[in-house]
Amino acid sequence: MNEAMPYLIAVGAILVVFVLPAWFAFRKEEREAMAELAAAKAAGRHEPVSIRPWVDEAKCMGSGACLAACPEHAVLAIVGGQARLANATACIGHGACATACPRSAIELVFGSEKRGVDLPKVGPDFQTDVPGLFVAGELGGMGLIANAIEQGTQATRQALSGRKATSEGLDLIIVGAGPAGVAAGLEAKKAHANVVILEQDVFGGAIRHYPRGKIVMAHGYRLPGQKRRKSGTISKETLIEELGAAIDDAGLDVSEGEPVTSVQRLEDGRFEVITGERTLHSSAVLLCVGRRGTPRKLGVTGEDREKVSYRLLEPEQYRHKHVLVVGGGDSAVEAAITLGAEEGCRVTLSYRKEHIVRAKQKNQEKLAASVAAGHVKMRTLTEVADIGADRVVLVGAGAEANSATGEVLPNDAVLIFCGGVLPTKFLADAGIALQRHHAKLVTTLEETAPVGR
């Protein structure tokens, strides 16, 4: 008995010094995770806006590797010994959690069991049901810039893999000159392909709609044929400058201000692409258009006034003015915060729901601080009923738009951030089928309600 005593004391010491503190720390982290999950459910942050990690409970061993790998550090939590989705709205599709998982228990999916996301039907090679017609970037559900660049690059390789030598026409037409489209064009130039990019506005895509100075990337990236961009925060202006330099260096043909109205596959297998200026033919087409190309409108009286805009470019022009911002996502919240910091700008943020839940947690915290400081006024559970020359009318969410009991606010400008309209008719005319994603459940829209219902 006496001989065993030293061993028992040693074991007890190990338990007291190492095991018990670790166990208590684990329990504390789990309680915090459960509290965060409960708070996320209460605020609606557990329902994903688009992409999010799906955890296979049969494989998850609760190692925590996914939590450590996530650059956002807020999406997943360990609850009950397994990874759980704690803050879906913070996920922007890095995919680092899936890569780090030692059991391959995580997949990135779109939507949830309750909230569906409509996306074009594409295969693993980014090709639609129409042979030779490809989709990459935001239209395919990948809004993260670094991933969109990679998708555009890979989709181009696939699009050019089966090309045939032609005496006329183009090898590839790319629609959209955002990060995915520019990367696709650069990859095509590397392959010595005859390529043109058609852009309805100017190169840069949705990035140009962001407020000045907005950080759009936090990690390095590489454009085809270019040196790798080192890690570090990248602003909107810096990224646009770098995209422009890459376009010039490669001699890439980007036709700006030329919207595409139709894409059709001909009987000979080539594609006919019609714009407002000309008709082009190519062996393949890659769609890299964004969802923000056609802003979703409110459909209220006065929305056609010049003071109404769907993006914020020059915040200083709104100094000493009454501005109404409409929306509840990151773009609306960031615009309200930015304008609230401008001298004399009196900002009101209108949102139809009770809580702002679609914006990232950091933006929600910044908004709360702006509201507390008196820089931004909140009007939740409201909708715009009328936009006048020098005022706007807000009514309770769901109320009649012509209600005479609404709140009248002095107004010089209205900024609307209600997302973009999926180009459903354009895609349907091109022969592209859409799918509704409910996490692991995916159905074609022919089997569900029409888009937008």
| 406 and 427 part of one domain | no
Query: In sequence order, which ranges of 15-134 are alpha helices (DSSP H)?
Result: 20-43, 65-69, 96-100
Question: Same domain, yes or no, for 87 and 124?
Answer: no
Q: Is it the case that residue 329 has pLDDT exceeding 90? A: no
Tell me, what's the pLDDT at 108?
Answer: 81
**What is the rounded distance in angstroms from the CA atom of residue 331 to the CA atom of residue 296?**
13
Residue 450, pLDDT score: 38
Least confident of 26-30, 56-60, 208-212: 26-30
- Counting the structural domains of the chain, the total is 3
Residue at a domain's end among 114, 148, 175? 114
For 435, residues 6+ apart whose C-beta sits below 8 A from its C-beta are 118, 119, 120, 121, 442, 443, 444, 445
**What's residue 97's pLDDT?**
87
Residue 431 banded pLDDT, cuts 50, 70, 90: very high
Same domain, 104 and 136: no
Residue 160 and residue 265 in one domain: yes
Q: What is the mean pLDDT of residues 217-243?
A: 84
DSSP 78-104: EETTEEEE--GGG-----HHHHH-TT-
pLDDT at 169: 76
Structure pTM? 0.70
pLDDT digits (tens, 9 = 90+) for 119-132: 888 888 899 999 99
Average pLDDT over residues 92-96: 67
Same structural domain for residues 410 and 425? Answer: no
What percentage of the chain has pLDDT greater than the value 70?
Answer: 80
User: Which residues are CB-contacts of 146 (< 8 A; sequence separation ≥ 6)?
Assistant: 217, 219, 221
Are residues 353 and 432 part of one domain? Answer: no
Whether residue 67 lies inside any domain: the answer is yes
Residue 431 located in a structural domain: yes
Q: Does a structural domain hold residue 299?
A: no
- CA-closest candidate to residue 87, choices 105, 70, 64: 70
Burial class (CB in 10 A: 0-12, 13-18, 19+), 332: buried
Question: Model confidence over 136-165: pLDDT tens digits?
Answer: 988 877 667 888 898 899 999 999 987 665
- Examine the fold and report which residue of 97, 114, 131 is the final residue of a domain before the chain moves on: 114
351 - beta bridge partners?
380
What is the spatial distance between Cα 115 and Cα 10, in angstroms, rounded to a whole number?
A: 55
Residues 126, 228 within the same domain: yes
Q: Determine how many CB atoms are found less than 10 A away from the CB of residue 354.
A: 11
Contact 43, 357 (CB under 8 A): yes
Q: Can you give the CATH number for the domain in which 63 is found?
A: 3.30.70.20
pLDDT in tens, 175-192: 999 999 999 999 999 999
> Which pLDDT score is estimated for 249?
94
The dihedral through the CA atoms of 140, 126, 431, 108 has a sign that is: negative
Average pLDDT over residues 215-231: 81
- Nearest CA to 283 among 191, 202, 203? 191
The parent domain of residue 53 ranges over 16-114
How far is it, in rounded angstroms, from Cα 408 to Cα 250?
Answer: 54
Q: Angle at CA 77, nearest 5°, toward 73 and 78?
A: 140
Residue 144, domain member (yes or no): yes
289: Cα separation from own chain's centroid: 13
Mean pLDDT score, 237-266: 94
Q: What is the pLDDT of residue 21?
A: 64
Q: Is there a single domain that holds both residue 286 and residue 205?
A: yes
Residue 395 within any structural domain of the chain: yes
What integer is the mean pLDDT of 66-93?
Answer: 77
Domain-ending residue, one of 93, 114, 135: 114
Q: Cα-Cα-Cα-Cα dihedral of 94, 98, 100, 105, to 10°?
A: 160
Q: Is residue 427 part of a domain?
A: yes
Task: Confirm whether 301 is domain-assigned.
Answer: no
Q: Do 414 and 324 contact (CB within 8 A), yes or no?
A: yes
Q: What is the pLDDT of residue 93?
A: 63
For residues 168 and 282, membership in a common domain is answered with yes
pLDDT of 399 above 70? no
State whether 36 and 108 are in the same domain. yes
CATH of the domain at 359: 3.50.50.60
Span 264-272, mean pLDDT? 93
71/199 Cα distance (integer angstroms): 32
- Quick one: pLDDT band at residue 48, thresholds 50, 70, 90? low
Do 137 and 33 belong together in one domain?
no
Residue 224 shares a structural domain with residue 79: no
Lowest mean pLDDT among 84-88, 148-152, 413-417: 84-88
Query: Higher model confidence: residue 370 or residue 71?
Result: 370
Q: Where do the DSSP E strands lie in 147-303?
A: 170-175, 195-199, 215-217, 234-235, 254-256, 260-265, 271-275, 279-287
Of 10-14, 316-320, 359-363, the poorest mean pLDDT is in 10-14
Over residues 425-449, mean pLDDT: 74
Residue 184 within a domain: yes
